[in-house]
């Protein structure tokens, strides 16, 4: 990335920190891309999937919080404040939209629609934070929207209701980014655990009352721990090491990966319109990443060590 005038030279520690951020955020994209695979693999109703995914995901995040906070865990869980609760509620709504959309349209449609989240986030940031996006972001947004139009409007596969749910999920994810930017002191892991449990609670009245079989229970645990807990943990630990726009764009790797797992496991092949639309979206994302970060020009962005997360002071 091109260095700003007057800024310090990039140090080896900053390079290592930047590369760790890249690895963590890439790991989160890989974890999140497994959602379509699990929803196709586990033969349960959407509401039942949400309940067990939320339960196991929340437990996995709680375990991570306990490891990080130790005796300060109760204080960490109760100190989110109103922004943290709003963050959790929006995240839970996004989870409901996401899992339900996978039952009403193809994984490829959901993945490509989600790839527009950096640009939806830029629009919301302009509306609520008065952050005007640059020309490159606007051009990339137009390209991504053109790709989604080709994919959704001209494709023979998918369903309108599922596509609308996927757009709702994308809007929720963008709103989470804006809330985090407006309130950087939010304890993201406690809020994420709360959101997982809220999504489970919201789906509980519509879920099957019978316990899943042993095989399905193992798959549900893997779904919650890998897709929810591990994905969000990697994301929160990696995002603070990278510029926001780069974090969002790397997260878009979810889209090309999600159909791959489903194709390899179940032979669900995207049609030509989905492939063309997806290529347009990711051409826009890739070009924007190159323009916005100057990738491959002068290395990672100049930055200090990752900012320390806000932690609750432990009583001794």
Q: Domain span at residue 226?
A: 12-293
Residue 316 included in any domain: no
On whether residue 307 sits in a domain, the answer given is no
**Looking at 121-135, 179-193, 276-290, 292-306, which range is the least confident one?**
292-306
pLDDT tens, position by position, 123-149: 887 888 776 666 666 677 777 777 777
User: Could you read off the pLDDT of 49-71 as tens digits, one per residue?
Assistant: 889 999 999 999 999 999 988 88
- pLDDT band, very low/low/confident/very high, at 300 (cuts 50, 70, 90): very low
Name every residue whose Cβ is closer than 8 Å to that of residue 11 and which is 6 or more positions away in sequence: none
Contact in structure between 219 and 41 (CB atoms under 8 Å): yes
Q: Does residue 33 come out as left (phi exceeding 0), alpha (psi in the -120 to 50 range) or beta?
A: alpha
Give the chain's radius of gyration (CA, Å): 19
Q: The tokens of 193 are what?
A: 């655990």
Asked if pLDDT for residue 291 goes beyond 90, the answer is no
- Say how far apart CA 36 and CA 57 lie, in whole Å: 16
What confidence tens digit (pLDDT) does each residue in 232-251 have? Answer: 778 777 776 776 666 777 77
**Between 65 and 151, where is the model more confident?**
65
The C-alpha atoms of residue 167 and residue 110 are separated, in whole angstroms, by 8
In a domain, 62, yes or no: yes
What integer pLDDT is reported at residue 298 of this predicted model?
Answer: 41
Secondary structure, 3-state, the chain: CCCCCCCCCCCHHHHHHHHHHHHHHHHHHHHHCCHHHHHHHCCCCHHHHHHHHHHHHHHHHHHHHHHHHHHHHHHHHCCCHHHHHHHHHHHHHHHHHHHHHHHHCCHHHHHHHHCCHHHHHHHHHHHHHCCCCCHHHHHHHHHHHHHHHHHHHHCCCCCHHHHHHHHHHHHHHHHHHHHHHHCCCCCHHHHHHHHHHHHHHHHHHHCCCCCCCHHHHHHHHHHHHHHHHHHHHHHHHHHCCCCHHHHHHHHCCHHHHHHHHHHHHHCCCCCHHHHHHHHHHHHHHHHHHHHHHCCCCCCCCCCCCCCCCCCCCCCC
In a domain, 306, yes or no: no
CB-CB contact of 293 with 246 (8 Å): yes
State how far the Cα of 90 lies from the Cα of 151, in Å rounded to an integer: 27
Q: Is residue 64 part of a domain?
A: yes
Specify the number of domains making up the chain: 1
Summary mean pLDDT of the chain = 77
Alpha-carbon distance of 25 to 30, in angstroms, equals 9
What is the biggest distance separating any 2 CA atoms in the chain, rounded to whole angstroms? 64
- Domain contains 247: yes
pTM over 0.75: no
Mean pLDDT, residues 10-39:
83
Is 315 among the domain residues?
no
In a domain? residue 1: no
Integer angstrom CA distances of residue 51 from 172, 206, 212:
19, 9, 12
């Amino acid at each position: 990335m091109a260095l700003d005038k007057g800024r310090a030279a990039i140090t080896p520690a900053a390079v290592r920190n930047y590369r760790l951020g890249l690895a963590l955020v890439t790991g989160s994209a890989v974890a999140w891309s497994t959602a379509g695979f699990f929803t196709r693999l586990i033969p349960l109703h959407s509401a039942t999937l949400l309940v067990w995914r939320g339960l196991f995901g929340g437990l996995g995040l709680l375990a991570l919080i306990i490891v990080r906070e130790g005796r300060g865990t109760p204080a960490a869980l109760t100190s989110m404040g109103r922004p943290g609760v709003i963050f959790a509620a929006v995240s839970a709504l996004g989870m409901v939209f996401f899992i339900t959309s996978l039952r009403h349209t193809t994984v490829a449609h959901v993945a490509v629609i989600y790839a527009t989240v950096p640009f939806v986030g830029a629009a919301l940031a302009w509306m609520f934070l008065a952050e005007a996006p640059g020309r490159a972001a606007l051009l990339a947004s137009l390209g991504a929207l053109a790709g989604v139009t080709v994919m959704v409007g001209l494709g023979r596969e998918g369903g309108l209701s599922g596509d609308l749910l996927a757009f709702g999920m994308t809007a929720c994810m963008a709103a989470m980014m804006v809330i985090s930017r407006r309130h950087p002191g939010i304890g993201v892991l406690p809020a994420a655990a709360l959101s997982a449990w809220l999504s489970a609670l919201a789906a509980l009245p519509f879920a099957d009352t019978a316990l899943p079989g042993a095989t399905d229970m193992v798959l549900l645990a893997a779904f919650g721990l890998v897709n929810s807990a591990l994905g969000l943990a990697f994301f929160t630990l990696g995002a603070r090491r990278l510029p926001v726009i780069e974090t969002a764009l790397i997260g878009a790797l979810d889209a090309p990966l999600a159909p791959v797992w489903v194709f390899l496991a179940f032979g669900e092949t995207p049609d030509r319109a989905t492939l063309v639309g997806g290529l347009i979206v990711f051409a826009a994302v890739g070009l924007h990443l190159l323009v916005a970060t100057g990738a491959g020009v002068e290395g990672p962005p100049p930055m200090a060590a990752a900012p320390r997360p806000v932690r609750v002071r432990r009583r001794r």
